[in-house]
Structure 1
């Protein structure tokens, strides 16, 4: 199939004509490239260790919970060993704690075994209050060890609590409510041949300052990737960000001879390309920015099609969204006569055309 724009014919290859290759970015926005360490560079594990905070926040929840439990358990065991060692060196394990010798000062009451030392370490860290076990004010070593455990324990709690809060509040989770159409289309928009894709915000909470950036990765046969910027716009907003994202938006890129996508879409072109789209938006309630990515291969572009109408105005004057049409594409019938419907269809963001009963 083909479309004409300013007397220039543009055709797209069928999926079978393109060589099957692994995509750079998955449909849900994950990068498939894995960078091995360069010669002479630090080991990968060392690089992750240098950025402990970012590593912990980026971990999956199951690993974060495992790290949480392991770190606290290791902390309790470490200081249980130190308390037991202190009791051993002070000779507290061999005396009667209820009636110690007059010349002997018990550092911690009733630490007579490792189990008791672990219990004391646990009570100290969690500040749950001492019962029969308590440190003596006449033993400087016990007071010093108690201060060290409390300081390190507070640092550990602050780090773990901060990691939990940061992981829960990550803007990345908000980006999960943004969805792209599974395919892009080439069709007519305002008398021009355009490449189009659609995005929607699945939550009722609106996003603001929506920006679209797109990069075309091309392989001209030399196994090297060439990058080209692809400009998409939203209706008459041009390059300005969309101030309000509450209903599905259709973004357009005009296909002309200056477009980097133009040559790649022509019939007979052996160029392999992948169009990666980046949608950035700010959360209205927090102001934090989030980003969602997707990509389109040559076989995921429908030619001479347009997106079905999602937003309609019913006879009561209320806007209705039919999300079953979000990913639906229809043959481009710009020059055909459509049958008159019984309800109004309002042209919002280039979807549909205004029809009246």
Structure 2
């Protein structure tokens, strides 16, 4: 066995190595197992609801919010599918009217007045519907006044098209303008530190804004999530405790133009007051930081 000394500044570290195949070597340190977080860094909560009863019907009763909360790939799929089905359905209705009136067989007869001029098969009926729905204007294909059922279908098509446009385009607009994406440019420190500040033991972390646009009325709150058991014997798996980060002094109201250090004083009112350094390393808890504010550019 031989010993090697490596110098790092004024500190020395002793490393033992084996000069032969036999001998004892220090086992590598075990990697710390990553715990499952209650709230991810991007703000998504790892919660799945189950055994609620009628969960699907509750989501469908608020269909607009359900579509807004879906992922982008499902939103785009529903957007394309809805328009495709609606277009094919309405084009089939125009083709059915032409078929029942016999316009398809007399489309090239100049002496006959059809319901829709120059519609003689399904593709031409589909093109007529697109021209009507997209308000391109009538040219080669146009509706005539000899078709009352076509006028009624035209009114129904206009109303249905307005409803579908308002629903789907409104959903896409709200999803694109959600303030969740604004959080991508709000940076939090990777680690929190506990040290003395102003003569008090303090838990500290930093938050900063990358954009030049301000966060109006920014306010920060901290929640401590940990399990506990009440004196009556009830077990609370996710008990929420408030961490005071300046509520009494107004320090939780932030003027976020430069990175700020958020402080929580560990005093007798703090949930960390009875924890030692060793117990804090083994205790299972999670601190959730909530930053609320109004986006200056959009007002959301």
Q: Normalization by structure 2: what TM-score?
A: 0.80
Aligned equivalents of 2:193, 2:292: Cα separation in 1: 22
Q: Deviations over 1:256-314 (max 9, x none)?
A: 222112234553466421111111112233432xxxxxxxxxxxxxxxxxxxxxxxxxx
Aligned counterparts, 1:243-262, within 5 A: 244-262=255-273
Name 1:284's counterpart in structure 2. Answer: 296
SS at match of 2:253: coil
What does residue 155 of structure 2 align with?
147
In structure 2, the residue matched to 1:229 is 242
Find 1:74's aligned residue among 72, 75, 85.
85
Give the 3-state SS of the residue equivalent to 2:173 in structure 1.
helix
Q: 2:21 aligns to what? A: none
How far 1:48 moved relative to its partner?
2.7
Task: Determine if contact 2:222/2:287 at 8 Å carries over to the other structure.
Answer: yes
Return the alpha-carbon distance in structure 2 between the equivalents of residues 61 and 21 of structure 1: 28
Partner of 1:83: 94
1:27 paired with 2:35, answer: no
Aligned to 2:192: 184
RMSD over equivalenced CA pairs, Å? 2.5
SS at match of 2:278: coil
Q: Which residue of structure 2 aligns with residue 61 of structure 1?
A: 72
Kindly state the Cα deviation for residue 167 of structure 1 after the two structures are TM-superposed.
2.0
Q: Deviations over 1:244-263 (max 9, x none)?
A: 21111111111122211223
Structure 1 CA distance for aligned equivalents of residues 79 and 165 of structure 2: 9
| Bigger RCO of structures 1 and 2 (CA < 8 A, at least 6 apart) | 1
Rounded Cα–Cα distance in structure 2 between residues aligned with 1:96 and 1:52: 43
Question: 1:114-138, CA deviations, whole angstroms, 9 ceiling, x for partnerless residues?
Answer: 1111111111111111222211112
The answer to which of 204-213 and 63-72 deviates more is 63-72
Does structure 1 retain, via aligned residues, the 8 Å contact 2:188–2:208? yes
- Matching of residues 255-270 of structure 1 within 5 Å: 255-268=266-279
For structure 1, list consecutive stretches of 5 or more residues without a partner in the other structure.
1-15, 289-357
Where does structure 2 lack aligned partners over 5 or more consecutive residues? Answer: 1-29, 230-234
Alignment of 1:311-322 (within 5 A): none
Question: 2:95, 2:125 within 8 Å by CA — same for their partners in 1?
Answer: yes
Give the one of 143, 154, 163 matched to 2:171: 163
Match of 2:273, SS state, is: helix
The 1:240/1:180 distance shift into structure 2, 3 A limit, reads: closer
CA distance in 2, matches of 1:240, 1:223: 28
Partner Cα separation in structure 1 for residue 123 and residue 67 of structure 2: 32
Aligned partners of 1:218 and 1:273 also within 8 Å = yes
Equivalent-residue separation in structure 2 for 1:241 and 1:223 (angstroms): 31
After TM superposition, where is structure 1 displaced by more than 6 Å over at least 4 residues in a row? Answer: none
1:80 is displaced (CA, Å) by 0.8
